[in-house]
Structure 1
């Protein structure tokens, strides 16, 4: 990966933060025949999917988590959806098309699980820890709200993350997973796409400047952000290709979306 300080995060904004990636709704029933169980990093093992009710408990009347979706045997839990919504606070460049609803978050998690399953099949190497750290260092410098917390300091960064319900260690794991997904997408789809200087200027003027103004903080200059903006625009161009691919993965796999009160198959 190259020039990655915050660029992968910006790509995530388009690919996984609700920017229109795949908006197809999944019915609350099994799609196609159940496929073989696979394990997605950070998601509960599929072996227990058939035996767990939508909400698991440690003792009667003490709910822990609810299954909201099963993707080729891998579980997506209610707590995963909460976490996905909290991660939106770590996206410095807001997208007007993003929808922060739980349904959209579930949809993004399903897409991500499908891609992670493909990543595992490819036996890709994990993202090195120093690259993850570099990404997060760039993130700290570009989140508008971070300026209020002085995220350049460890105490300020820890305080900001605590407000969002994360620790530095937990965020590193989540961000490494996102970087793995985005690296796979880049390698598969991005080659041959070119972004013009005018497209970069328009995005800076029409999207980024209003966001910083809304946060009442000074925006970085265009020349310091042009490479990062290019990553966003590349991701937008890739979306159409990625959309078709994800539709194919959905059609070939088994996806069940659970609603409150439904029993896991």
Structure 2
């Protein structure tokens, strides 16, 4: 089991994309005060445009998800700092949105319709879509403005900053030479598992029953029963729907006992019973990738993109700092999240 769960957000935050180097589609609410926002809690006002708590909450979730996906722990003590960074991101987004509109990067309503439809298509029913909106405290009108702002800022940044950056072949080669550690691929294994959960506060009787259950499954595997079939029927991990498949992972991702067992196996081999904080596991390895180095030819485009983003971010930071100097920014005292 992974030490830190991977959270996949439906609507990623724009400024994670701009300032942390990943692709994203949207930002915060815009300055149009609609009737459905009149009861919303205002957390900041930038040049007269309001940022609402719903937008801040979504940005916090997105930033937290980003940190978790990088493998960074997010203890509760870090939440105030994350919230502060999220609000700064939204303020910067508001500044860039205004600049983007002034530069002529407004978005057609038809394009926003497409974005909304893509979100709706991810849900089985309209009711499920409405539940999602309620969970993030948005109406559809707010979501539309959310996407509009994100697209305006995205286009403005791409055209006015990224496309003006020059990265030469020599720059790319030099980066590859100077950073060999970035192009080393660590050993990875592809594994599936069967989990019988064991709560940390389990009683002795519960521990005995869980151990008996996993021992029974192990006996079936040794008798030749299909691992994936058993995982689908008996595993208590969400991966059971995929026959227990966890995909490829490197060292440092799983708990140590799980990792040690998985990396000690060869493809086609299964482990004995492995105990983690989640419970009892049986692991089978289905693939292995040895440590290797990414050749320059395969890394070239990725390096070019990295350098482009890095240099455009420096330009963007300077632009935003300059705009903030002349902006009127009022940050409201925030209620507890």
Relative to structure 1, is the Cα distance of residues 254 and 12 closer, same or farther in structure 2, using a 3 angstrom cutoff?
A: closer
Query: Does the 8 A contact of 1:10 with 1:232 survive in 2?
Result: no
Structure 1 length-normalised TM: 0.51
Q: CA RMSD in A?
A: 5.5
Instruction: Determine helix, strand or coil for the equivalent of 2:57.
Output: helix
Relative to structure 1, is the Cα distance of residues 164 and 252 closer, same or farther in structure 2, using a 3 angstrom cutoff?
A: same
User: Which residue number corresponds to residue 160 of structure 2?
Assistant: 188
Shift of 1:117: 0.9
User: Which residue number corresponds to residue 155 of structure 1?
Assistant: 124
User: Which residue number corresponds to residue 165 of structure 1?
Assistant: 135
1:114 partnered with 2:95: yes
Relative to structure 1, is the Cα distance of residues 250 and 68 closer, same or farther in structure 2, using a 3 angstrom cutoff?
A: same
Structure 1 unaligned blocks of 5 or more: 1-8, 20-39, 47-56, 59-63, 141-150, 210-214
**Alpha-carbon separation, structure 2, partners of 1:231 and 1:92:** 21
Relative to structure 1, is the Cα distance of residues 237 and 92 closer, same or farther in structure 2, using a 3 angstrom cutoff?
A: same
After the TM superposition, which of the residue ranges 107-116 and 86-95 deviates more from structure 2?
86-95
User: Which residue number corresponds to residue 287 of structure 2?
Assistant: none
**Alpha-carbon separation, structure 1, partners of 2:334 and 2:67:** 33
Shift of 1:125: 3.5
Relative to structure 1, is the Cα distance of residues 111 and 185 closer, same or farther in structure 2, using a 3 angstrom cutoff?
A: same
**Alpha-carbon separation, structure 2, partners of 1:10 and 1:75:** 17
Query: Does the 8 A contact of 2:165 with 2:308 survive in 1?
Result: no
Q: After superposition, what is the alpha-carbon deviation per residue over 1:140-169, rounded to whole angstroms, capped at 9, x for unaligned? A: 9xxxxxxxxxx996429967x839935896
**Alpha-carbon separation, structure 2, partners of 1:89 and 1:95:** 10
Relative to structure 1, is the Cα distance of residues 176 and 14 closer, same or farther in structure 2, using a 3 angstrom cutoff?
A: same
User: Which residue number corresponds to residue 174 of structure 1?
Assistant: 146
1:249 partnered with 2:323: yes
> How many equivalent residue pairs?
197
Shift of 1:88: 4.5
Relative to structure 1, is the Cα distance of residues 131 and 44 closer, same or farther in structure 2, using a 3 angstrom cutoff?
A: closer
**Alpha-carbon separation, structure 1, partners of 2:146 and 2:306:** 20
Query: Does the 8 A contact of 2:29 with 2:145 survive in 1?
Result: no
1:15 partnered with 2:18: yes
Shift of 1:250: 0.6
